[in-house]
């Protein structure tokens, strides 16, 4: 079903499944088998050498995992995809499949916390230079890329202040110097943003978040052309961070409703952002769908929806005030996750930026009273009432 003309909703439901159905089943089987047997050793050898389609050993490939990869591959309009056990598994595999000592990476300060650790702790260890620019300073990023860049790593929208990066513009800068351009598309999802069409070489996801959408399975996936994906697959097949077939199944099942969920989350997040924006107890709201957001024009240009993620700062700028709001929300988990059918809230001080000091967070533009809000699929009226009630408990 390689058909660009079908919609995201249809693609979410049908893409990638047809070849793997068994004995007239309408649903993809969970193949728990570790290995795949061959009486014919010649055939076995051909499969092992990749000259014939088939599976050998589930650390390498597996039928259920294959379907998961095919579905996201088609949603991102890519040639090929490969997966890993977690988002970090695929980010690590992607970076370490290409980078060798002496090379130079350009990225931004607001990448996901785990990614930032690879940049600041693990890549320098193997003598890869990493330059982290101010996230929305496009001139500075272009200048660093022009000085020499083997891999340009971008993420948009970012965590937790939902900053927006112009992908088309920076992908062109990366191409000019021959860099591999990688985009973490976790927050946007392929429903709202298509980095490959904007010039990126690779698009990756923590499938744990919006793709799976039910907070019950972890996974990661990267999509791009065959040559790049084969290199990442080879690295991941050896490091062993393989996606488990049961998780692949849960992610697949979640992805059937991806377009439906994301459309709802786009709508609700915009309404909540507008509501909070005019609320007397709110200092500031970060949501790219608001015209007042500094990245609004870029977001409008490169996204088809503004996403389910937002954050806001309370006027009462204390960690206690955050505690009050969180404790009084009925329809939100206070947890370190996002992208699920349930609304999820959390302060960066306990989740993405737990390792920073209060002063460091303030310097990064993250005040103590910032709350990240991952909009679920509940009824919008209930979410707004819930927020209204929780905020009424503040001074
Ligand atoms: C959660 C997340 C990751 C890491 O994914 P895991 O599945 O938790 O390993 C990477 N990037 C972004 C933007 C994320 O939100």
pLDDT tens string 28-58 = 999 999 999 999 999 999 999 999 999 999 9
pLDDT at 1 over 50: no
The burial of 4, by beta-carbon neighbours within 10 Å (0-12 exposed, 13-18 middle, 19 or more buried), is given as: exposed
Q: Is residue 279 included in any domain, yes or no?
A: yes
Cα distance from N-terminal residue to C-terminal residue, the chain: 56
Q: Half-sphere exposure of residue 46, counting CA atoms within 13 Å on the CB side?
A: 10
Q: Is residue 312 included in any domain, yes or no?
A: yes
Number of H helices, E strands in the chain: 16, 12
Confidence of residue 2 (pLDDT cuts 50, 70, 90): low
The arithmetic mean of pLDDT across residues 361-372, rounded, is 85
Q: Does 184 sit in the ligand 1 pocket, CB within 6 Å?
A: yes
Q: How far is the CA of 52 from the centre of ligand 1 (A)?
A: 34
pLDDT at 307 over 80: yes
State which of 255, 277, 295 marks the end of a domain. 255
**Pair 334, 141: CB distance under 8 Å:** no
184 is catalytic: yes
State which of 209, 238, 255 marks the end of a domain. 255
Q: Is residue 265 included in any domain, yes or no?
A: yes
Q: What pLDDT was estimated at residue 218?
A: 98
Q: Which residues contact 366 (CB under 8 A, 6 or more apart)?
A: 160, 161, 348, 349, 353, 356
To test the pocket of ligand 1, the residue of 68, 72, 209, 351 to mutate (highest count of ligand atoms within 8 Å of its CB) is 209
Count structural domains, the chain: 2
Q: What pLDDT was estimated at residue 349?
A: 73
- My answer on whether 194 and 144 are in the same domain is yes
pLDDT at 352 over 80: no
Q: Does 87 sit in the ligand 1 pocket, CB within 6 Å?
A: yes
- My answer on whether 234 and 265 are in the same domain is no
Q: Is residue 105 included in any domain, yes or no?
A: yes
- My answer on whether 285 and 363 are in the same domain is yes
Q: Half-sphere exposure of residue 59, counting CA atoms within 13 Å on the CB side?
A: 8
Q: What pLDDT was estimated at residue 3?
A: 55
Domain containing residue 48: CATH number: 3.40.640.10
Residue found by looking up tokens 């969920």 in the block = 261
Q: What pLDDT was estimated at residue 19?
A: 81
- My answer on whether 192 and 269 are in the same domain is no
Q: Is residue 331 included in any domain, yes or no?
A: yes
Confidence of residue 312 (pLDDT cuts 50, 70, 90): very high
- My answer on whether 311 and 375 are in the same domain is yes
Q: Does 218 sit in the ligand 1 pocket, CB within 6 Å?
A: yes
How big is the chain by its Cα radius of gyration, in Å? Answer: 21
- My answer on whether 82 and 223 are in the same domain is yes
- Where b means 16+ CB within 10 Å and e means fewer, 301-336 reads ebbebbbbbbbbbbebeeeebbebbbebbeebbbee
Q: What pLDDT was estimated at residue 102?
A: 98
Task: Tell me the C-alpha to C-alpha distance, in Å, between residue 134 and each of 36, 119, 167, 206, 261.
Answer: 49, 15, 15, 23, 32
209 is catalytic: yes
For residues 104 and 80, give the distance between their C-alpha atoms in angstroms, rounded to a whole number.
26
Domain containing residue 298: CATH number: 3.90.1150.10
The string of pLDDT tens digits covering residues 99-144 is 999 999 999 999 999 999 999 999 999 999 999 999 999 999 999 9
pLDDT at 15 over 60: yes
The string of pLDDT tens digits covering residues 269-305 is 999 999 999 999 999 999 999 999 999 999 999 999 9
Domain range spanning residue 264? 258-391
Residue found by looking up tokens 């976790």 in the block = 186
Q: Does 103 sit in the ligand 1 pocket, CB within 6 Å?
A: no
For residues 33 and 25, give the distance between their C-alpha atoms in angstroms, rounded to a whole number.
18
Categorise residue 297: left if φ over 0, alpha if ψ from -120 to 50, beta otherwise: alpha
Q: Is residue 1 included in any domain, yes or no?
A: no
If we measure between CA atoms, which residue out of 375, 376, 323, 332 comes closest to residue 350? 323
Three-state SS at 164? coil
- My answer on whether 336 and 212 are in the same domain is no
State which of 228, 255, 282 marks the end of a domain. 255
Q: Does 209 sit in the ligand 1 pocket, CB within 6 Å?
A: yes
- My answer on whether 50 and 159 are in the same domain is yes
Q: How far is the CA of 207 from the centre of ligand 1 (A)?
A: 8
Q: What percent of the chain has pLDDT over 90?
A: 90
- My answer on whether 52 and 165 are in the same domain is yes
Q: What pLDDT was estimated at residue 359?
A: 78
CA dihedral defined by 326, 331, 337, 339, rounded to 10 degrees?
-140
Q: What pLDDT was estimated at residue 224?
A: 98
- Where b means 16+ CB within 10 Å and e means fewer, 26-50 reads eebebbeeeebeeeeeeebeebeee
Q: How far is the CA of 395 from the centre of ligand 1 (A)?
A: 35
373 is catalytic: no
- My answer on whether 81 and 225 are in the same domain is yes
Three-state SS at 70? helix
Q: What pLDDT was estimated at residue 20?
A: 77
Q: Does 208 sit in the ligand 1 pocket, CB within 6 Å?
A: yes
Q: Is residue 2 included in any domain, yes or no?
A: no
The string of pLDDT tens digits covering residues 145-198 is 999 999 999 999 999 999 999 999 999 999 999 999 999 999 999 999 999 999
In 10 A of CB 201, how many CB atoms? 20
Q: How far is the CA of 336 from the centre of ligand 1 (A)?
A: 11
In 10 A of CB 53, how many CB atoms? 10
112 is catalytic: yes
pTM of the predicted structure, to 2 decimals: 0.97
Which of 112, 153, 233, 235 is an active site residue? 112
Q: Is residue 248 included in any domain, yes or no?
A: yes
pLDDT at 350 over 90: no
Which of 166, 184, 201, 244 is an active site residue? 184
Three-state SS at 243? coil
pLDDT at 315 over 60: yes
If we measure between CA atoms, which residue out of 68, 92, 257, 86 comes closest to residue 186? 86
The arithmetic mean of pLDDT across residues 207-236, rounded, is 98
The arithmetic mean of pLDDT across residues 357-383, rounded, is 89
- My answer on whether 318 and 217 are in the same domain is no
- My answer on whether 41 and 73 are in the same domain is yes
What is the DSSP code (8-state) at residue 341?
S
């Amino acid at each position: 079903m390689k058909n660009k003309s079908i919609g995201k909703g249809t693609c979410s439901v049908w893409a990638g499944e047809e070849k793997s159905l068994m004995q007239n089943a309408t649903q993809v089987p969970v193949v728990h088998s570790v290995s795949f047997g061959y009486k014919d050793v010649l055939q076995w050898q051909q499969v092992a050498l990749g000259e014939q389609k088939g599976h050998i050993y589930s650390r390498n490939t597996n039928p259920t995992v294959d379907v998961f990869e095919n579905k996201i591959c088609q949603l991102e309009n890519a040639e090929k995809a490969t997966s890993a056990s977690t988002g970090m598994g695929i980010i690590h595999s992607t970076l370490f499949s290409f980078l060798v000592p002496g090379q130079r990476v350009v990225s931004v300060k607001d990448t996901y916390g785990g990614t930032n650790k690879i940049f600041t702790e693990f890549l320098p260890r193997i003598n890869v230079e990493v330059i982290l620019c101010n996230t929305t300073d496009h001139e500075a990023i272009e200048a660093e890329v022009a000085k020499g860049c083997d891999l340009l790593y971008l993420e948009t929208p970012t965590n937790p202040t939902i900053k927006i990066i112009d992908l088309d513009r920076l992908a062109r800068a990366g191409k000019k110097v021959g860099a591999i351009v990688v985009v973490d598309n976790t927050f946007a999802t392929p429903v709202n943003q298509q980095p490959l069409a904007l010039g990126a070489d690779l698009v990756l996801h923590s499938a744990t978040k919006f793709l799976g959408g039910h907070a019950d399975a972890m996974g990661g996936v990267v999509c791009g052309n065959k040559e790049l994906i084969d290199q990442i697959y080879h690295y991941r097949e050896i490091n062993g961070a393989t996606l488990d077939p049961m998780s692949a199944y849960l992610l697949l099942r979640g992805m059937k409703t991806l377009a439906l969920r994301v459309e709802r989350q786009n709508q609700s997040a915009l309404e909540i952002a507008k509501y909070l924006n005019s609320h007397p107890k709110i200092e500031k709201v970060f949501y790219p769908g608001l015209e007042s957001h500094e990245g609004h024009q870029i977001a409008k240009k490169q996204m088809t929806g503004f996403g389910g993620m937002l954050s806001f700062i309370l006027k009462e700028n204390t960690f206690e005030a955050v505690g009050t709001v969180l404790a009084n929300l009925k329809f939100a988990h206070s947890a370190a996750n996002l992208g699920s059918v349930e609304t999820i809230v959390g302060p960066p001080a306990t989740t993405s930026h737990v390792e920073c000091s209060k002063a460091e967070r303030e310097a990064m533009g993250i005040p103590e009273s910032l709350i990240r809000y991952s909009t679920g699929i509940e009824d919008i009226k209930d979410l707004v009432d819930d927020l209204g009630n929780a905020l009424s408990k503040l001074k």
